[in-house]
C-alpha cells in the first residue's frame, strides 16, 4: 500500500531540481561567502543570485531580503525586532487570534516584556474584521501583524485593504505569507506591506530556511549578534547550499504559479466531489471565504480528530488536525475556536487536507474514498 500525502501545509516534498542544485553546491561550493578569496566570492554569488530572485518574487529590492532559519524565525524577528526598535513610538501591537503560534507566542512573549497586544477576532468564516482593526488602532500602535493565508483553513485575509488602512498610520504592517507564497501573487509595494515572512519548506525547498522582507524604511533590531551578515540583521555564516535550493524552489513556484493554482484547485474539487458521491456528511470551515486551493479544512460531525487521524494513517492517508506544531494534540484548534466557539464540536472533529506536489488526480480520489469509508465507520450520531 502506497501512502498518500495530504499534508502539504505542514511541509512539502523537496523538488528534484532543488535536490540537484543543493547537491551540486555542497560538492562544489564550500566557501564562506564572507571570505574575500575566490572560494568566498563563488559562494557570495550564490547568495546574491538567490537574494535577487527572492526580492523580485515580491517586488522588493535585494537589500530588503533577510534570510532566516525559516518562518518561525522570520516572524520572531519581525515582531520582536520592530517592537524593540520602535518602543519610543509606542508600546501597542495588534495581531489576530488565528495567527500561527510563531506569531501568537511571540506576541505573548512581548506582552511579558511590557508591550500591550490586541488579538483581533475573526468572523465565522475566518476573516478578520476591518472595523475592529480600525477601532483597535491608537497613536501608540507600532505594529500590526496579520497573516496572509491561515495555515489551518486556507482562508485569505484582506492584506491589501489593511495596507490602505495603515497607509497614514505609523504602525508597520507585517504579514506571515508562509501559506500564501507560491499561490497568491504578492507585491509588497502595491499592498503597502512593511514586513513579510516566507518559508522555504512549504514550497518544495529545504527545511530550516526562509526569508523576512524588511522594507527599506523599517527600523529593526537584530535578535542575534556577532557578524555582519544580512546587513547585521541576522548574523551568522549563511546556509549557502540551502539558499541555492530555496532559490530554485522560488523560481519553480513563480514560473508555475498559475499552473499550480489550477492543478491544486482541481485536486481539491475532485476530493470534495468524491466525498459527496460517497455520501459522507461534512462541512468546510471557512466555506464562504476566499481560500487558497492547497488547503481545505473539513468538519465531520459525530467524529473525533484523534481517531480519524489514527485510522487515516493506518489506511495510508497522511493528513493533520491543524498546524503541524500542534498535531498529535487533541486540544481544540485555536483557529476554529476563534471562528466558532471553543465548545463548537467542529473544533475537535475537523481535519486539514492539503494538496501539492505529492498528489495527482488518482491518488486524491483514492484518498477521498478511504476517508469516506473511515468517516462512515467512525461516525456516532
Ligand atoms: C503560517 C505559518 N507561519 C509560520 C510557520 C513556521 O514556519 P517554519 O516551519 O519555516 O518555521 C508555519 C509552518 O507551519 C506556518 O504555516
CATH number of the domain residue 354 falls in: 3.90.1150.10
Closest CA to 106 of 84, 127, 89, 121: 84
Q: Determine the distance separating the centroid of ligand 1 and the alpha carbon of 61, expressed in angstroms.
A: 23
Contacts of 94 (CB under 8 A, 6+ apart): 117, 118, 120, 133, 136, 137, 141, 143, 144, 145, 146, 171
How many Å apart are CA 175 and CA 215, to the nearest integer? 12
236 and 264: one domain? Answer: no
For residue 173 and ligand 1, the question of a CB distance below 6 A is answered with no
User: What is the pLDDT confidence band of residue 331, given thresholds at 50, 70 and 90?
Assistant: confident
Cβ 151 under 6 angstroms from ligand 1: yes
* Residue-level pLDDT at 324: 39
Domain that holds residue 364: 4-12+256-378
> How much distance in Å is there from the Cα of 354 to the middle of ligand 1?
14
If you ran DSSP here, which 8-state letter would residue 155 be given?
B
201 with 264, same domain?
no
Residue 214, helix vs strand vs coil: strand
Alpha carbons within 13 angstroms on the beta-carbon side of residue 149 total 23
- Confidence label for 380 from pLDDT (cuts 50, 70 and 90): confident
45 and 135 belong to one structural domain: yes
Q: Which atom of ligand 1 is nearest to the CA of 72?
A: 11
Residue 325 pLDDT exceeds 70:
no
Q: Is 71 in the pocket of ligand 1 (CB under 6 A)?
A: yes
Active site annotation includes 346: no
Find, among 284, 264, 270, the residue nearest to 355 by Cα. 264
Read off the pLDDT band of 342 (50, 70, 90).
Answer: confident
pLDDT value of position 323: 38
**Residue that terminates a domain, selected from 224, 255, 286:** 255
Q: Which residues fall within 8 angstroms of residue 219, CB to CB, at 6 or more apart?
A: 82, 85, 86
Judge if 265 and 279 occupy the same domain.
Answer: yes
Q: How far is the CA of 149 from the centre of ligand 1 (A)?
A: 11
Q: Is the CB of 157 under 6 A from ligand 1?
A: no
Give the domain-ending residue among 255, 289, 317.
Answer: 255
- pLDDT score, position 318: 98
- Identify whether residues 45 and 182 lie together within a single domain: yes
State how many domains the chain has.
2
Q: Each residue of 196-248: pLDDT tens digit?
A: 999 999 999 999 999 999 999 999 999 999 999 999 999 999 999 999 999 99
Rounded to the nearest whole angstrom, what is the distance from the C-alpha of residue 178 to the centroid of ligand 1?
6
Q: Show which of 255, 283, 311 is a domain's final residue.
A: 255
| pLDDT over 90, % of the chain | 95
Q: Any idea of the CA torsion for 145, 148, 151, 152, to the nearest 10 degrees?
A: 90
Distance CA(372)–CA(278), nearest Å, equals 6
Q: Going by CA atoms, what residue is nearest to atom 14 of ligand 1? A: 10
Residues 289, 374 within the same domain: yes
pLDDT 10s digits, 314-323: 999 999 986 3
| Same domain (yes/no): 295, 158 | no
Strands 172-176 and 116-120 turn out to be unpaired
pLDDT (mean) for 136-149: 98
Counting from 1 in the atom list of ligand 1, the atom nearest the Cα of 209 is: 10
Residue 328's pLDDT is what? Answer: 53
Does residue 24 have a pLDDT over 70?
yes
Phi, psi for 196 (deg, rounded to 5) = -145, 135
Same domain, 347 and 240: no
Residue 284 sits in the same domain as residue 312: yes
Return the CATH number at 85: 3.40.640.10
Q: Is the domain of 309 the same as that of 370?
A: yes
pLDDT tens column, 42-98? 999 999 999 999 999 999 999 999 999 999 999 999 999 999 999 999 999 999 999
**CA triple 204-176-52, angle to 5 deg:** 60
Report whether residue 210 contacts ligand 1, using a CB cutoff of 6 Å: yes
Looking at residue 280, its pLDDT comes to 96
Note whether 346 and 248 are same-domain residues: no
- Residue 55 Cα to ligand 1 midpoint, Å, equals 20
Are 224 and 139 in a shared domain?
yes
Ligand 1 and 327: CB distance under 6 A: no
Amino acid at each position: 500500500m502506497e501512502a498518500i500525502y495530504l499534508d502539504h501545509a505542514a511541509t512539502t516534498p523537496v523538488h528534484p531540481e532543488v535536490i540537484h542544485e543543493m547537491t551540486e553546491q555542497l560538492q562544489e561550493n564550500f566557501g564562506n561567502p564572507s571570505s574575500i578569496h575566490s572560494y568566498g566570492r563563488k559562494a557570495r554569488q550564490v547568495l546574491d543570485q538567490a537574494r535577487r530572485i527572492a526580492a523580485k518574487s515580491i517586488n522588493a529590492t535585494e537589500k530588503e531580503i533577510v534570510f532566516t532559519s525559516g518562518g518561525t524565525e522570520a516572524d520572531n524577528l519581525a515582531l520582536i525586532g520592530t517592537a524593540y526598535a520602535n518602543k519610543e513610538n509606542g508600546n501597542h501591537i495588534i495581531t489576530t487570534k488565528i495567527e500561527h503560534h510563531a506569531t501568537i507566542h511571540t506576541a505573548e512573549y512581548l506582552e511579558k516584556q511590557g508591550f500591550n497586544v490586541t488579538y483581533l477576532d475573526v468572523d465565522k468564516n475566518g476573516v478578520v474584521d476591518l472595523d475592529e482593526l480600525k477601532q483597535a488602532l491608537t497613536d501608540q500602535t507600532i505594529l500590526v501583524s496579520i497573516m496572509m493565508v491561515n495555515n489551518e483553513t486556507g482562508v485569505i485575509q484582506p492584506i491589501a485593504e489593511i495596507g490602505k488602512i495603515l497607509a497614514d498610520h505609523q504602525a508597520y504592517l507585517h504579514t506571515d505569507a508562509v501559506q500564501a507564497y507560491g499561490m497568491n501573487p504578492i507585491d509588497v509595494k502595491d499592498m503597502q506591506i512593511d514586513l513579510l515572512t516566507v518559508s522555504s519548506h512549504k514550497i518544495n525547498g529545504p527545511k530550516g530556511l526562509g526569508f523576512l522582507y524588511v522594507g527599506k524604511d523599517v527600523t529593526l533590531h537584530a535578535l542575534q549578534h556577532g557578524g555582519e551578515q544580512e546587513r547585521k540583521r541576522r548574523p551568522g555564516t549563511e546556509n549557502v547550499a540551502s539558499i541555492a535550493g530555496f532559490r530554485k524552489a522560488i523560481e519553480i513556484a513563480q514560473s508555475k504559479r498559475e499552473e499550480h493554482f489550477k492543478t491544486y484547485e482541481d485536486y481539491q474539487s475532485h476530493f470534495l466531489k468524491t466525498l459527496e458521491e460517497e455520501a459522507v456528511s461534512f462541512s468546510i470551515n471557512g466555506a464562504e471565504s476566499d481560500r487558497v486551493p492547497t488547503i481545505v479544512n473539513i468538519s465531520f460531525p459525530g467524529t473525533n480528530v484523534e481517531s480519524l487521524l489514527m485510522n487515516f494513517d493506518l489506511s495510508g492517508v497522511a493528513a493533520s488536525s491543524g498546524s503541524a506544531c500542534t498535531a498529535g494534540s487533541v486540544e481544540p484548534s485555536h483557529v476554529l475556536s476563534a471562528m466558532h466557539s471553543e465548545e463548537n464540536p467542529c473544533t475537535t472533529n475537523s481535519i486539514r487536507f492539503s494538496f501539492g506536489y505529492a498528489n495527482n488526480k488518482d491518488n486524491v480520489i483514492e484518498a477521498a474514498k478511504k476517508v469516506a469509508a473511515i468517516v462512515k465507520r467512525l461516525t456516532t450520531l
